[in-house]
Amino acid sequence: MAASGSALALAARLRALDDDALARLVTQREVRDAGIRDFFDLAEALLDRTSVQSALERLDRGTLALLAVAGELAETSGAPTAEQLSARLELPIGDVRERIAIALEAGLLGTESGRYAPWDAVVEQLRAWPAFGLPASRDLESSSPPAVLEPVSETDVRFIDRGAGDRAFGTLGAVTETLLALRDAPARRLTRGGLALPDARRLAGIAGVEAGEVELLLDIAARAGLAVLSGAEWVPTQRLSAWLTGSRIDRWGELATGWLSRLPDDLRELLRSRAHAVWGDGLLDYLAWLYPAGGAWIRERAAAAAREAELLGITGAGAPSTAGTRLLLDGTAAAAEAMAASFPPEVDQVYLQHDLTVIAPGPLRVDLETRLRGMAEPEARGVASSFRITAVSLTRAFVAGETADSVRAFLTALSLTGIPQPLEYLIADTAARFGTLRVGRLEEATGAYVRSDDTGLLRQLAVDQALTPLGLETVGIHRLTTRFDVGLLYTALLDARYPVVAEDAEGEIVAMRAERRASSGGGAPTDDTAALLISRVRESAADAPEEADRAWLARQLELAIKGKVTVTVTVRLPDESLAEYVLEPAALAGGRLRARDRRADIERTLPLASIISVADAP
């Protein structure tokens, strides 16, 4: 393997990766889609100086040291093996292999036959660091971490624990509400970063937090595998349903474990060794040492991680709570046991009011709250919470399979005050009207319809100012139509407080989620950038044989000419024998390559049709 590879070698490596590995690389390196047509363009984008520096900024000191040493050894004695790197760095082979995997995943390291060397652009960037006040290669190997973290007294821990439970409980509720809101409607992430303002405000109002904290809640959920960025939108993952069925303390345990698992290994081990210490400025000093090129990026990440730890009750005033200490030292179960003592006790009964509100004097048992949410709208959230039962919420419950009798039985068992007469009337009236107002998809044209045997109700819809944007048109005495999709029609009627249901082509009632597209500010892209890019570069090589593709060879030679790279060219001679030339390509035109032969010191002109492979010269 050459001392360090060029874009030619990287393009070949990229071509050999499977789609999952390629997607991870493109996403991790934040490769922009514009201008990338094939694997050579992608390789050049990854080796761009700005891109390389951005990737290096996100590596810890140990991985940077490995890259620096591998580059040095590759130039002096050939690309090293993992064992040679282990001996030079004086590290266990397992640690070295972990760092190699990180560098390979980041697209900064080339590998061939069990030997490893960073790409030229990586070596050059690391060498330029001292000029920018960043550590030289030798300092990456030899520097010792700063002393950090002062101990916390037992008095301080008792003070910290008093507030940790309240913060953890509040954050758990806010994360839960945020995820439930995402299930109803995704939240758009802007290209420049951050949430679209309408979505940030919507989620903040639902979760009961400031708009600036919504992204922290999303990050906490993402660390636990409960939310993910799909293209440009935040959406819940499939794990959400199972998570919602767990107890509150189990849910908190998953959030806390997600926070811990996403910390860098070195930092996690440091915190475990200082589980009774103040983190504060000492921790920031350590992170600045651990990520020497991290700059603003690591400060922002550290500040976010510290803030999330506070929100989850893992820390208080910059030091671990008892639950936080147990999380670090003993695991999730021990941490959850410690935190459970600080959570308010659950209740299993509520007060039903004449104004159709439901008041829970404490956290309602999870299974009861889940069923109640199916027939009531949450209003106030906290240790005590309130819900409101409406015709729309009862209609939703009936669509999900509840009946008037099952609703009455559930509420009777749940209520400390029985069922007030106004609520009894509402249940009976909604049950009687259930299914009388239906929407469906037009089969004969684009759009949707709303139908009812109640002609007075349809006339009311036709003149309702809130529904004017739908452009409802009367088609017979029992039917209105709109050019909009059935999902938007259904949502608009729900928002206008009509007890509407959806039906399929056979007239059977079906469940439908409201569509909230307007909340994203319009035009939110949903395509996955990485998937589109990968599809394009795969198509550029899809029809070519593995070794003899003319377009692939031509692009390799064009890149070698552009970068003034010396390559080894294998040529099939007229007698069918093969010859290897070490060439400096100069021009490619008319199906012929003109190049300088390094060994013979002559100029050669070779037919492109005779060239069967191109590789970096040793």
Is the domain of 424 the same as that of 453?
A: no
Res 124 pLDDT > 70: yes
Residue 558: which residues within 8 A CB-CB, separation 6 or more?
40, 588
**Which neighbouring-strand residues pair with 284?**
none
Asked if 70 and 79 touch (Cβ cutoff 8 Å), the reply is: yes
Asked if 402 and 395 touch (Cβ cutoff 8 Å), the reply is: no
pLDDT at 99: 94
pLDDT one-digit tens code per residue, 257-303:
999 998 877 778 878 877 777 777 777 788 888 889 988 778 787 78
Asked if 168 and 343 touch (Cβ cutoff 8 Å), the reply is: yes
pLDDT at 547: 41
Whether 298 maps to a domain, the answer reads yes
Integer CA distances (angstroms), 335 to 158, 279, 324, 454, in order: 16, 19, 7, 58
How many CB atoms are closer than 10 A to CB 617?
Answer: 18
**Least trusted range by pLDDT, from 3-12, 194-203, 223-232:** 3-12
Res 449 pLDDT > 70: yes
Q: What is the mean pLDDT of residues 141-169?
A: 76
Whether 345 maps to a domain, the answer reads no
pLDDT at 517: 40
pLDDT at 148: 58
DSSP assignment of 395-440: HHHHHTT--HHHHHHHHHHHBSS---HHHHHHHHHHHHHTTSSEEE
Whether 529 maps to a domain, the answer reads no
Whether 119 maps to a domain, the answer reads yes
Is the domain of 570 the same as that of 601?
A: yes
pLDDT at 523: 32
Q: What is the mean pLDDT of residues 386-413?
A: 92
Is the domain of 465 the same as that of 374?
A: no
Res 179 pLDDT > 90: yes
HSE, side-chain direction, 13 A CA sphere, residue 460 = 10
Six-digit token string for 542: 């899809």
Q: How far is CA 58 from the centre of its chain?
A: 17
Is the domain of 279 the same as that of 329?
A: yes
**Least trusted range by pLDDT, from 180-184, 519-523, 535-539, 601-605:** 519-523
Q: How far is CA 43 from the centre of its chain?
A: 24
Whether 525 maps to a domain, the answer reads no
Q: What angle do CA 203, 204, 205 make, to 5 degrees?
A: 90
The pairing of strands 357-360 and 377-378 is unpaired
Total count of residues recorded for the chain: 618
Q: Please choose, from the candidates 252, 247, 240, the residue with its C-alpha nearest in 3D space to the C-alpha of residue 369.
A: 247
Asked if 291 and 59 touch (Cβ cutoff 8 Å), the reply is: yes
Q: Please choose, from the candidates 594, 616, 615, 589, the residue with its C-alpha nearest in 3D space to the C-alpha of residue 605.
A: 594
Among 25-34, 138-147, 367-376, the range with the most confident prediction by mean pLDDT is 367-376
Q: What angle do CA 175, 226, 223 make, to 5 degrees?
A: 85
pLDDT band, very low/low/confident/very high, at 2 (cuts 50, 70, 90)? very low
Q: Mean pLDDT in the chain? A: 86
pLDDT at 516: 44
| Residue that terminates a domain, selected from 466, 496, 511 | 511
pLDDT band, very low/low/confident/very high, at 518 (cuts 50, 70, 90)? very low
pLDDT one-digit tens code per residue, 343-364:
999 999 999 999 999 999 999 9
Res 559 pLDDT > 90: no
Task: Identify the CATH number of the domain in which residue 62 sits.
Answer: 1.10.460
The span from the CA of 480 to the CA of 451, in Å, is 6
Six-digit token string for 209: 């937090």
Among 50-54, 497-501, 612-616, the range with the most confident prediction by mean pLDDT is 50-54
The span from the CA of 176 to the CA of 366, in Å, is 12
As a whole-number percent, the residues of the chain with pLDDT over 70 amount to: 93
Is the domain of 450 the same as that of 583?
A: no
Helix and strand totals (H; E) in the chain: 27, 22
pLDDT one-digit tens code per residue, 483-510:
998 888 988 888 888 888 899 888 888 8
Whether 410 maps to a domain, the answer reads yes
Is the domain of 199 the same as that of 325?
A: yes
Is the domain of 280 the same as that of 369?
A: no
The span from the CA of 63 to the CA of 343, in Å, is 41
Asked if 290 and 135 touch (Cβ cutoff 8 Å), the reply is: no
| Residue that terminates a domain, selected from 142, 172, 195 | 142
The 3-state DSSP class for residue 574 equals coil
pLDDT at 67: 94
Is the domain of 399 the same as that of 494?
A: no
Is the domain of 55 the same as that of 174?
A: no
Q: What is the mean pLDDT of residues 454-476?
A: 89
The span from the CA of 108 to the CA of 118, in Å, is 6
pLDDT at 440: 92
| Residue that terminates a domain, selected from 80, 111, 142 | 142
**Least trusted range by pLDDT, from 376-385, 502-511, 535-544, 545-554:** 545-554
Res 176 pLDDT > 90: yes
pLDDT at 360: 94
Provide the domain count of the chain: 5
**Which domain, by its residues, includes 443?**
438-511
pLDDT one-digit tens code per residue, 401-413:
899 999 999 999 9
Q: What is the mean pLDDT of residues 106-135?
A: 91
- Burial per residue of 258-272, b for 16 or more beta-carbon CB atoms within 10 angstroms, e otherwise: bbbeebbebbeebbe
Res 548 pLDDT > 50: no
Res 420 pLDDT > 90: yes
Res 329 pLDDT > 60: yes
pLDDT at 539: 73
DSSP assignment of 82-134: HHHHHHHHT--HHHHHHHHHHHHHTT-EEEETTEEEE-HHHHHHHHHGGGGTP
Which residue did the predictor score with more confidence, 182 or 151?
A: 182
pLDDT band, very low/low/confident/very high, at 55 (cuts 50, 70, 90)? very high
How do the residues of the chain divide into helix, strand and coil, expressed in percent and rounded to 5?
55, 15, 30
Task: Identify the CATH number of the domain in which residue 588 sits.
Answer: 2.30.30.100
pLDDT band, very low/low/confident/very high, at 107 (cuts 50, 70, 90)? very high
Among 79-88, 531-540, 562-571, the range with the most confident prediction by mean pLDDT is 79-88
Is the domain of 115 the same as that of 169?
A: no
Whether 476 maps to a domain, the answer reads yes
Res 528 pLDDT > 60: no
Six-digit token string for 161: 């624990």
pLDDT at 543: 52
pLDDT band, very low/low/confident/very high, at 171 (cuts 50, 70, 90)? very high
Is the domain of 284 the same as that of 362?
A: no
Is the domain of 332 the same as that of 389?
A: no
**Least trusted range by pLDDT, from 66-75, 217-226, 465-474, 528-537:** 528-537
**Which neighbouring-strand residues pair with 351?**
359
Residue ranges with strand state E in 152-210: 187-188
Whether 2 maps to a domain, the answer reads no
Q: How far is CA 269 from the centre of its chain?
A: 25
pLDDT one-digit tens code per residue, 80-106:
999 999 999 999 999 999 999 999 999
